[in-house]
């Protein structure tokens, strides 16, 4: 997965509480066995005026002009500002996939559903918990200034506004290191590839019959 160190981007606010994973990426799009292509269907029910189904030509769909992601001032936004209990509902990992594939690198909210929170770290999306008061102030600023940007500094564990104010956030040290180095579960395993190969070679030397192919099976 991509490394996350310092990211500066335009902020868009989704001003509603208890946004569940079915709203983030509706269930009909979970039919895909791929881990790509979910970005165009992020917040599909809010983003379009028609009902979305897999394989639709999005150029022929009618966007909802009242939805924030469709407003020109938020074009290219890469930081999502949300209210409490973001990512509740089912445990689908497609939710962080859709957010990432749309272009978001961080989500800021007062609280997150636990499974969604964990899935974000596993996929390179940084969930940041700030107080409700801090989030409310950021919503006011996002709404007041077109092109409003924030800088997320993961090593320093702060969110910086354009005027230099800092909002500190907590992050688990292990998860922080994984994000900084771009290591998902597979990446962490591959760090020990040499030890795994050595173990397999030693095991085969001590138990050579493990390498015997079943009758009728060719290597």
Q: What pTM value is reported for the model?
A: 0.87
Q: How many domains does the chain have?
A: 1
Among the listed residues 80, 87, 98, the one whose alpha carbon sits nearest the alpha carbon of residue 30:
98
What is the overall mean pLDDT for the chain? Answer: 91
Q: Where are the alpha helices (DSSP H) in the chain?
A: 21-24, 44-47, 94-102, 114-123, 132-144, 173-181, 185-190, 193-206
Domain annotation covers residue 207? no
Nearest residue to 42 via CA among 114, 129, 139, 107: 107
Q: What is the pLDDT of residues 134-154, one digit of tens each?
A: 999 999 999 999 999 999 999
Position 126 in a domain:
yes
Q: Token pair for residue 63?
A: 């966007």
In a domain, 115, yes or no: yes
Mean pLDDT of 108-119: 97
pLDDT band with cut points at 50, 70 and 90 for residue 188: low
Tell whether 194 is covered by a domain: no
Give the tens place of pLDDT for each residue, 38-80: 999 999 999 999 999 998 999 999 999 999 999 999 999 999 9
Position 17 scores a pLDDT of 98
For residue 163, tell me if it sits in a domain. yes
Measured N-to-C along each axis, helices 114-123 and 173-181 cross at an angle, to the nearest 10 degrees, of 40
Is 67 within the bounds of a domain?
yes
Q: Could you give the percent of the chain with pLDDT greater than 90?
A: 77
Structural domain contains residue 155: yes
In this structure, what DSSP letter does residue 96 have? H
Stronger pLDDT, 31 or 158, i.e. the higher one: 158
Query: Does 159 fall in a domain?
Result: yes
Residue 160, domain CATH: 3.20.19.10
4 pLDDT higher than 90: yes
Domain that holds residue 156: 6-181
How many angstroms separate the Cα of 134 from the Cα of each of 83, 108, 147, 165, 199?
Answer: 11, 10, 19, 11, 51
Residue 1 tokens read as 């997965």
């Amino acid at each position: 997965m991509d490394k996350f160190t310092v990211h500066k981007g335009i902020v868009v606010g989704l001003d509603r509480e208890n946004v569940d994973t079915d709203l983030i990426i509706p269930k009909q799009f979970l039919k895909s066995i791929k881990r790509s292509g979910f970005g165009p269907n992020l917040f599909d029910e809010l983003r379009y005026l028609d009902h979305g189904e897999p394989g639709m030509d999005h150029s022929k769909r009618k966007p909802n002009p009242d939805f924030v992601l469709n407003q020109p001032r938020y074009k290219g936004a890469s930081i999502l500002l949300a209210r409490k209990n973001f990512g509740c509902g089912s445990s689908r990992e497609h939710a962080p996939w859709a957010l990432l594939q749309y272009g978001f690198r961080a989500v800021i909210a007062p609280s997150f559903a636990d499974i969604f929170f964990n899935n974000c770290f596993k996929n390179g999306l940084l969930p940041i918990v700030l107080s409700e008061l801090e989030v409310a102030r950021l919503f006011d600023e996002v709404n007041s200034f077109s092109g409003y940007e924030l800088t997320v500094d993961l090593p320093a564990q702060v969110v910086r506004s354009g005027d230099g104010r800092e909002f500190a956030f907590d992050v688990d040290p292990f998860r922080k290191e994984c994000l900084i180095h771009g290591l998902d579960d597979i990446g962490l395993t591959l760090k020990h590839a040499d030890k795994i190969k050595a173990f397999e070679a030693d095991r085969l030397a001590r138990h050579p019959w493990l390498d015997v192919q079943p009758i009728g099976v060719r290597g």
